[in-house]
Amino acid sequence: MAALGIGILGSGNGTNCRAILERIREGSLCAEARVVISDVFDSRILHIAREFGVPNAYLPPGSFKTKLAVDAEDALVRMLRDSAVELVVLAGFMRLLKAPVLTAYAGRILNIHPSLLPKFPGLEAWKQALAAGETVTGCTVHYVDAGVDTGEIIAQREVAILPNDTAESLHERIQLAEHALYPEAISRFCE
């Protein structure tokens, strides 16, 4: 079985990227990371890519805060195609994708979100769950569409909210669940 060519997009620490690359290296995920791209110049995710020997690049995002400029989106599509990417994996990518990427990779873009969607879309979902007095939250892998965390759900994992949880302790446990769930969800595309 040929390895699935994935492209990982991220803006930050890259903990999900590391989890995916570790699974690929140990042979439990039949994928090949063909490129890691970040919209943040010196982000940790680019350092992780280099550590694993994965081609990586900084993509200047343009002047918008929450999305890529149109020329940046076009450049992103070229970078993904030039790297023979078959599946786009968002790992903490903090910008909404628009038509150029959504069209080029329709049905082939995944994201992981730190809540049990459709509850608590958007930023800092674990803080939203705490503030709402929830007893359970978790993480969701979903397809990316033009909305904010609105794409079809692929997989979810629950995480209990403990009575003494802080935002930090809850987020840490959700991330552990993400690191297990995301590679499992990606592996479904490898079959």
Q: With cut-offs at 50, 70 and 90, classify the pLDDT of residue 29.
A: very high
From 113, 142, 171, 179, active-site residue: 113
**Can 171 be counted among the known catalytic residues?**
no
Class of domain 4-190: alpha beta
Rounded to whole angstroms, the Cα distance separating 120 from 136 reads: 12
Q: What is the pLDDT of residue 68?
A: 94
For the chain, the structural domain boundaries read 4-190
CA distance 82 to 26: 26
Residues 122-149: tens digit of each pLDDT:
999 999 999 999 999 999 999 999 999 9
Cβ neighbours of residue 173 closer than 8 Å, sequence gap 6 or more:
159
Whole-prediction pTM: 0.96
Percent with pLDDT over 90 in the chain = 97
* Selection from 39, 44, 70 nearest residue 57 by Cα: 39
pLDDT digits (tens, 9 = 90+) for 162-180: 999 999 999 999 999 999 9
Q: Could you say which DSSP state residue 105 is in?
A: T
Q: Tell me how far apart the alpha carbons of residues 117 and 136 are, in angstroms, rounded to a whole number.
A: 12
Q: What does the pLDDT average to over 79-92?
A: 98
Can the peptide bond before residue 118 be classed as cis, meaning omega within 30 degrees of 0? yes
